[in-house]
Structure 1
Amino acid sequence: MRDVQGAAMARYWPVLKAREGEFKALGRLQDRDVSRIHPLFEVNPSNDGPTKAGLNFVRKVREAAPAGLTFGVDTTYARVNDNGEPLIKEIANDLAQWGVPIAPVIHLHDPDEQLSACGEAARLHNETAIVRLGSLTTDPDPVADAPRIARALSIAKISVGRCHLVVDMGEVASDRDVSRTELVVRNVLDSLGDQGWASIVVASGAMPSAISTLPRNEATPLPRWDWKLWKRLADLSPDFGDYAIAHPAMPGAGARGPLPSLRYTASDNWWIYRWARNQTGGNDSFYDLCQALVSSDHWPTESSEFSWGDSELARCARRQPGPGGATQWRAWGTSHHLAHVMGELANPHAS
């Protein structure tokens, strides 16, 4: 890990669902931000089967990937293709042909065939992999995980020095969660943090699974407990990971025609905007939502220049067509979030 005084700026590792909104946001990154962000994508399952899920993922990456950006790829939710073979190998082969670098994600409980496939995928792409500890339901366990790490990397034929360690604590939803999780992370890093990893990341997520119970026609603050956790660990200087503006769990089918809404990131909170539809129907009340946003004290001083997402929100505040839908709102909110977090990491003492 870096020196506590911070000779190097912490890097950002957002864990993203491989959906259109997230890819739209990533494809609009400013050039200066490409070297500061390391997105880790979870491949979404598909109703058409895992092979189609892999093809859809490759297509989205090819269309959105900024030059020079390496993607972490986690196939936990779509592990094998329609023929029962590891999907990560198929994705790695396809993206290698297009010159898009990836880093496969290894879980310690993966079957041996999956571990071996991750090793093959890594050797196609800079010989780099990501070891991801923890799950949505289980904390990392340094005593049990140490031999599992050695075994997994032996099967994958990858050295520790070529691996990034992601300590994923899943959902943190309260100050009590933050305190408990901090102790777990410190224990993990005390035991496993000095093995020569390429980097160490602490990841967690604090966005609730649904916002449908929140008030309408006003902005509601929700604490960014994931950011608070990372700040509590500043003396260890890990890189920062979160789930952007999404809940850590893979979502099911969303509600059809959701109310105009926006998840907008500020220093310690998200501001959740939900606006009732007006008499004209449709999504025109999103214009009113954006007018409230740009008049708020959490609208950035850079205004529309802050990110691509903010430029779109400023456009909507001027009532210029069109107001978008759920995919666009997710894309614009994610774009702002990515820019906001990278700004925080560049100047952590200001937040």
Structure 2
Amino acid sequence: MTYRPILRFKRGEQTALTNLSDAHKAVTKPLLNISSHAFNPPPGGDTDGAFDQRIAQDADRLNSAWAGHSAAVDLGDIDPDARCAGGVHPVRHFFDQIAAADDRANASPVLRLASDDAYVAAVASVCADYGLSPVFRMTPDDLAEPDIGDVVREMLDECGAQPAGADFVVDMGYIATKGRSVITARGALAAVPFAADWAALALVAGSFPENLSGFAVGTHIVERHEWAVWLANRNAAGRVVSYGDYATIHPIPVEEGLDPRTMNPTASVRYTFEDTWILLRGQGTRTRGGQGFAQFLGHADTIVAMPQYRGEPFSFGDGKIMRIHRRAEGQGNLETWVTIGVNHHIAEIAGQLAILP
């Protein structure tokens, strides 16, 4: 079964994807959220060269990290009024850059219910010119709309696509509990238009806490509710439903929109094991008199000593933990440990899915 994580396309996640084994890349189809890059045209202008460069850079980085493998790309968080040079829509600019590379990712554009007409038109042009089909990403609230079937059909028609050639992702976002979420997921899957016809139908959710203020410094076991919710619905909608999650990060990370100059992020580690995360909660990295990033040395030591540690060969992330434990390399920083956590998580989930009956 293909694993369908939703990931931010930031440097930590990019490095995690780049360093997955070929075997794990082959069974993983991430849905990547492109950052809402600042769009600041000069007075009297309507384009921003720096914005264009960032969109192209994201495409180049995806080609580098994921060449030959499949991914869905969501640019829906970008300013809807932003345009690249020549009035080109950012979606078009991104996929033109993807296609220009000889060694490229097999990327598909994402559509949401909230996608405006210009965005849908840009996706349609990309699908027509590059022989692609869109990936639909809908929430339970979206699927409760009485005309959702008509809207999805209109989008398919504009893109020249059929459900049999496209994927559909039910994105539950953050879930706090299992019981109610199982019911919500079942209802959402039952409301998916043409449910039996999609090339793939995935259920995605994330239950990692929004912040760690409720956890004392130390080691904690945090249940991954999304795994249980999917297990209860893996054969819902009269077909196989693929599994997806938000890896080791809350669906809407608390740092989004905050000024990094005023933040004091904790040196904390998330290590996925079966249906849990092992959370090593540290102190703030800027706490006066604290150990700062050096706390990650102790975290590496703790993980290696745990019976749940998968061992150095398991993944790039696990190998990096061992090297930090041995002091063969430095403790790293927050980005380093996002890479470690996400890379290990994908390997762990791929292994879990491979052994399910």
Q: In which range does the TM-score fall when normalised by the shorter chain? A: 0.7 to 0.9
In 2, Cα distance between the equivalents of 1:280 and 1:148? 54
Amino acid in structure 2 at the alignment position of 1:288: G
Q: Return the match for 2:280 from 266, 273, 280.
A: 273
Aligned match of 2:216: 215
Q: 1:96·1:124 contact (CA, 8 Å) conserved in 2?
A: no
Distance in 1, matches of 2:177 and 2:279, equals 17
**In the alignment, is the contact (CA less than 8 A) between 1:120 and 1:156 conserved in 2?**
yes
Provide the residue aligned with 1:148 in structure 2: 151
Aligned-residue offset at 1:71 = 2.0
Query: What's the counterpart of residue 34 of structure 2?
Result: 43
Of 280, 283, 286, 2:293 maps to 283
For 1:43 and 1:289, the matched residues in 2 are separated by 30
| CA deviations over 1:320-343 (Å, ceiling 9, x no partner) | 330000100100000000000100
Question: Is structure 2 residue 255 aligned with structure 1 residue 230?
Answer: no
Do structure 1's residue 11 and structure 2's residue 2 form an aligned pair? yes
| Distance across 2 between alignment mates of 1:34 and 1:126 | 22
Q: Do the aligned partners of residues 175 and 280 (structure 1) sit closer, same or farther apart at CA in structure 2, a change above 3 Å counting? A: closer
Deviation readout 1:277-329 (Å, 9 max, x if unpaired)? 796834222111111111113212xx011100000011112233300001001
> Is 1:327 equivalent to 2:335 in the alignment?
yes
Give the whole-Å Cα distance in 1 for the aligned partners of 2:22 and 2:81: 34
Out of 93-102 and 119-128, give the one that drifted further. 119-128
Q: Which residue, out of 287, 304, 308, partners 1:294? A: 304
Q: Paired residue for 1:165, among 165, 168, 186?
A: 168
Partners of 1:177 and 1:52 lie apart in 2 by 44
Call closer, same or farther: CA 1:340–1:233 in 2, change over 3 Å.
same
After superposition, what is the alpha-carbon deviation per residue over 1:89-140, rounded to whole angstroms, capped at 9, x for unaligned? 11000110014221000113322221121122223444222011117xx352
Task: Extract unaligned runs of 5+ from structure 2.
Answer: 41-50
Q: Which 4+ runs in 1 deviate beyond 4 A?
A: 254-257, 277-280
SS in 1 for 2:137: strand
| Deviation of 1:244 (Å) | 1.0
- Aligned residue for 2:147, secondary structure, equals helix
Give the Cα–Cα distance (whole angstroms) in 1 for the partners of residues 112 and 142 of structure 2. 13
Identity of aligned residues (%): 23
Q: Distance in 2 between matches of 1:22 and 1:56?
A: 15
Superposed CA RMSD in Å reads 2.3
| SS of residue paired to 1:110 | coil
Q: Kindly provide the CA deviation profile for residues 238-275 of structure 1, in whole angstroms up to 9, marking residues without a partner as x.
A: 11111111111263345645332111111111111123
Any gaps of 5 or more consecutive residues in structure 1?
1-9
Rounded to whole Å, the distance in 1 between the matches of 2:356 and 2:160 is 37
SS of aligned partner of 2:293: coil
Distance apart, 1:21 and its partner CA: 0.4
What SS does the aligned partner of 1:192 have?
Answer: coil
The superposition leaves residues 132-172 of structure 1 with CA deviations (integer Å, 9 ceiling, x where unpaired) of 1117xx35227431111111112222222221011111111
Q: Distance in 2 between matches of 1:179 and 1:158?
A: 31
Q: Distance in 2 between matches of 1:271 and 1:323?
A: 19
Whether the 8 Å CA contact 1:264–1:272 is kept in 2: the answer is yes
| TM-score (norm: length of structure 2) | 0.86
Assess if the C-alpha contact under 8 Å between 1:203 and 1:241 holds in 2.
yes
> What is the match of residue 69 of structure 2?
69
* Total equivalences in the alignment: 332
Checking the alignment, whether the CA contact within 8 Å between 2:165 and 2:198 is kept in structure 1 is yes
Shift of 1:227: 1.0
Secondary structure of the corresponding residue to residue 284 of structure 1: helix
CA distance in 2, matches of 1:121, 1:39: 19
Q: Distance in 1 between matches of 2:276 and 2:5?
A: 17
Structure 2 residue aligned with 1:97: 100
Partner of 1:178: 181
* 2:9 maps to amino acid: A
* CA distance in structure 2 between the partners assigned to 1:64 and 1:183 by the alignment: 34
- Between the aligned partners of 1:336 and 1:187, the Cα distance in structure 2 is 33
